[in-house]
Amino acid sequence: MKRAVCALFLLGALHPIACASRVPLIEEFLQQRSITSLMLLHCVREPVDHDVIRIAKALRQSFLGTVYYLDITGAHFQQQFQWHMFYERYKTGITLNLECSGIEPVLEHLSENAYFNATFHWLLFGGSNFEQVTRLLSAQNINCDSSITLVFDRNHPDAVQRLYEVYDVSGTVKRRGGKISFELLGIVSSLKQLPKSRPRKQDLDGIELWTVLTVMTANQHQPLPFIVKLNSVKRPKSYSSPAHGYQMVKLLQMKLNFKLTMVLTEDWRFDLIGQNSSQGVVGQVQTKLVDFSTTPYAITPERIALCDFTIEIAHGTFYTTFRHPKSLNKHNIFLLPFETLLWLAICLIFGAVALLLALSIINVRRPGRDRVSIDWLVELSLLGTVGILCQQGFHHCTIRLSSYRIIALVAMASSMLLLQFYSSFIIGYQLITPPKTINTLAKLVDSDIKIAVENLSYHHDYFHRTTNPVALKLYETKILPNKYGFVNVTFGMQLVKQGGYAFHCETSYGNTLIIEMFTEREICELQQVELYPQRPIHLPLIKGSPLRELFKINLQLIKESGLLAYHHSRHYIRTPKCNKQSSNHVEQIYLADVRFAFLLLAAGMGASVVMLLAELAFESLRNWWHERQILTTVTEGFVWLN
């Protein structure tokens, strides 16, 4: 082993000129690319690359990052290289001499594992055989995101001045038949003057890219050809994210010059994540049958390994919408605003007042009577207490006892304070908009409002994956037992309009139905709560796609130009605002709101009728009994004349 190392040092010592020529080049390359880690792939046993050890030693003196060198002719090269590639991911530079023998299988391995991507910066030495090297590289997996600098030695043996040609190697999308181009950056006489790479022309040369698009709700509400729906300028009434994504792809198509082939699917099929299936958007993306998806979706933990994401092109607006009930007490509005415990306290207090009044009346004898009758006792105690509670007082008698006066004054004062709170609520019930207290999902679950969800696999997938206890309780108690648990958006909004129902959907197109179907008063009654956090949605690309940075940059330019906001406003309709100043905004009073007053009146009338019948029957029975008693006491021989 020591002999081999010594031999390598001797070989390096025999060619100091070659070492001196490549070291400045590599140093300039490291500085231009801001490299933090360098890997020297070499064939040190061959004369064309025997100066690698000297280069590595020289770079360790001038380069602050880590330096590795790996023999491509070694038996375990592929395993060792993959290990280094797994850990060295940020600003990694790699050098390779294409004159090494057996370079074809090495390049094939690099292409199969997509190592010529934007993560790594390559510096290739092509020697002097331009045609052979370019033909060899044209067969590799080099794409639009590749960062490759190629250096040729154009020196003749008798040349006085050494010349070097520096090329920038780039492509489009190799898997779609893209061609590789070699752009001459310059011819220099000193490798210390390495030409800088120029900004590449963002042109994919008309290659044909494949994309996947969902058509699950294409013709439910707009029975038009699918392409017409994608380009429609009308307010959307069904899932509109594919149309928004299609408009972004059209803008990219115009900027980047590529053709488009669309693969139509009926669903996302998020349940197939991690499975070997080509069904749905997920299947097409994870099997890399397409290049990207025109149907955007949000980033979630389980989707990170599925694809690469670009930038936010929209923000999901999945909300649960319902008409907030005007009063949460549906049984008797006249019990508001007092709680049940307060009503019990009022009944006990004024019951005690009635009892004290009755005791005071018992001690007083009415003039002309020997004793206090039951009628008089009830009139002054029970009805008097009701009169005090209703702020009526006593107008038919004179209160003589001080105890009676104290009780009456205190009871009237307390009832006046209570009546102010009560009457102000009843008067302001129709004048002031009540607060919307159902503002969380937990409160919605605990309410009497029924819930329906838009019948999209997106929502089914969420309920199957979520661990949120409130969402699971909602699913188990309000959605599964409900025959309208999963419905389409039109029927769901009709349920909301009828009242007593909440509907969960993507409100960007649900708002169109709200604008068309709901009155201004009903719009003011709407309330929204979140079932799950609102997430930004992206245009997803296949994992490791060379188009990621190209799409991200151009989508950002589209965003900054305002075109993204324009298309977003077309496909994502905002929630209509409540117009309280409108002349049509009139709060109606329904029979259900005041039904207790009519029930009380009906109960009182029924009780009075029953009492009247009982009194008539009692009087008839008493008269009959009185006549019978008189007849039995008449003296014999006497006859009633009348």
**In a domain? residue 598:** no
Same domain, 401 and 447: no
* Domain assignment of residue 556, yes or no: yes
Residue 380's CATH number:
1.10.287
In this structure, are 54 and 184 located in the same domain? Answer: yes
Residue 562 DSSP code: T
224 against 172, higher pLDDT: 172
Q: What is the CATH number of the domain that holds 518?
A: 3.40.190.10
Residue 339 within a domain: yes
563 and 467 part of one domain: no
Predicted local distance difference test score (pLDDT) of residue 250: 94
Q: Which residue has the higher pLDDT, 495 or 578?
A: 495
Do 442 and 528 lie in one domain? The reply is yes
Number of DSSP helices (H) and strands (E) in the chain, helices first = 22, 20
Asked if residues 454 and 486 have their Cβ atoms less than 8 Å apart, the reply is yes
Strand 120-127 versus strand 501-506 pairing type: unpaired
- Contact (CB, 8 A) for 169 and 150: yes
Clarify whether residues 145 and 53 are in a common domain: yes
The residue that leads in pLDDT, 607 or 95, is 95
**Cis peptide, bond prior to residue 469, ω within 30 of zero:** no
CA gyration radius for the chain?
44
Kind of pairing, strands 164-170 and 181-188? antiparallel
pLDDT over 70 for what percent of the chain?
A: 77
Beta strands 120-127 and 147-153 are parallel
* Residue 633, in any domain of the structure: no
> Does 285 share its domain with 420?
no
* Residue 16 falls inside a structural domain: no
Please identify, among 193, 227, 252, the residue that sits at the C-terminal boundary of a domain: 193
- Taking only the tens place, the pLDDT of each residue in 80-92 is 888 877 765 678 8
- List, as one string, the DSSP characters of 452-481: EEE--HHHHHHHHH---HHHHHHIIIIITT
Reported as a single tens digit per residue, the pLDDT across 6-43 is 333 333 333 443 444 688 888 888 888 888 888 888 88
Query: Can you tell me the distance from the alpha carbon of 548 to that of 163, in angstroms, rounded to the nearest whole number?
Result: 37
| Tokens of residue 235, six digits | 């307010």
Beta bridge partners of 91: none
DSSP code string of 236-297 = P-S--HHHHHHHHHHHHHHHHT-EEEEEEES---GGGTTSS---HHHHHHHTTSSSEESS-E
CATH of the domain at 60: 3.40.50.2300
Q: Are residues 419 and 387 in the same domain?
A: yes
Residue 475 lies in a domain: yes
**What pLDDT digit, counting tens, does each position of 144-186 carry?**
989 999 999 876 655 556 788 899 999 999 999 999 999 999 8
pLDDT at residue 284, as a whole number: 93
Contacts of 138 (CB under 8 A, 6+ apart): 179, 180
How many angstroms separate the first and last alpha carbons of the chain?
Answer: 153
In whole angstroms, what is the distance from residue 526 CA to residue 537 CA?
26
Q: Which pTM was predicted?
A: 0.73
Cβ neighbours of 224 (radius 10 Å): 14
* Rounded-to-integer distance, Cα 265 and Cα 212, Å: 7
Statement to judge: residues 125 and 171 lie in one domain: yes
**Domain range for residue 523?**
318-327+434-533
Give the contacts of 80 (CB within 8 A, at least 6 positions apart).
70, 74
CA distances from residue 434 to 323, 507, 515, 586, 603 in whole angstroms, order as listed: 13, 24, 23, 14, 30
Amino acid at 223: P
Q: Which residues contact 460 (CB under 8 A, 6 or more apart)?
A: 486
Q: Are residues 45 and 137 in the same domain?
A: yes
C-alpha to C-alpha distances, 9 to 5, 19, 24, 50, 57, nearest whole angstrom:
6, 12, 20, 9, 11
Q: How far is CA 380 from its chain centroid?
A: 66
Structure tokens at 216: 């699950």
Q: What is the number of structural domains in the chain? A: 4
Evaluate whether residue 589 is within a structural domain.
no
Q: List CB contacts of 476: < 8 A, sequence separation 6 or more.
A: none
On whether residue 546 sits in a domain, the answer given is: yes
Task: Render pLDDT for 412-459 as a digit per residue (tens, 0 to 9).
Answer: 777 777 776 677 666 666 566 667 888 888 888 888 889 999 888 888
Top-confidence range, 204-213, 269-278, 431-440, 618-627: 204-213
If asked whether residues 550 and 466 sit together in one domain, one would say no
- Name the one residue in this structure whose structure tokens are 């045609």: 131
364 CA to centre of own chain: 76
pLDDT: is 382 or 641 the higher one?
A: 382
Cβ proximity of 530 and 326 under 8 Å: no
Q: Dump strand ranges (E) for 482-632.
A: 486-487, 501-506, 526-529, 536-538, 541-542
Predicted confidence at residue 216, as pLDDT, reads: 67
Average pLDDT of the chain, as a whole number:
80
Highest mean pLDDT pick, 21-30, 321-330, 627-636: 21-30
Residue 465 amino acid letter: R
CB–CB of 562/570 below 8 Å? no
Same domain, 272 and 400: no
- The domain boundary, picked from 164, 193, 222, lies at 193
Band of pLDDT at residue 532, cut at 50, 70 and 90: confident
373: how many CB neighbours lie within 10 A of its CB? 11
108 and 187 housed in the same domain: yes
Distance from C-alpha of 78 to C-alpha of 72, rounded to nearest angstrom:
8
- Among 159, 193, 227, the domain boundary falls at 193
User: Of 337-351, 496-510, 536-550, which range is least confident?
Assistant: 337-351
Q: In the structure encoding, which two tokens stand for residue 464, read together? A: 């199957």
Residue owning tokens 């003749």 = 156
pLDDT of residue 14: 36
CA distances from 12 to 5, 9, 24 (A): 11, 5, 17
Give the C-alpha distances (Å, rounded to integers) separating 56 from 60, 71, 513, 594.
6, 13, 69, 91
Greater confidence (523 vs 640) lies with 523
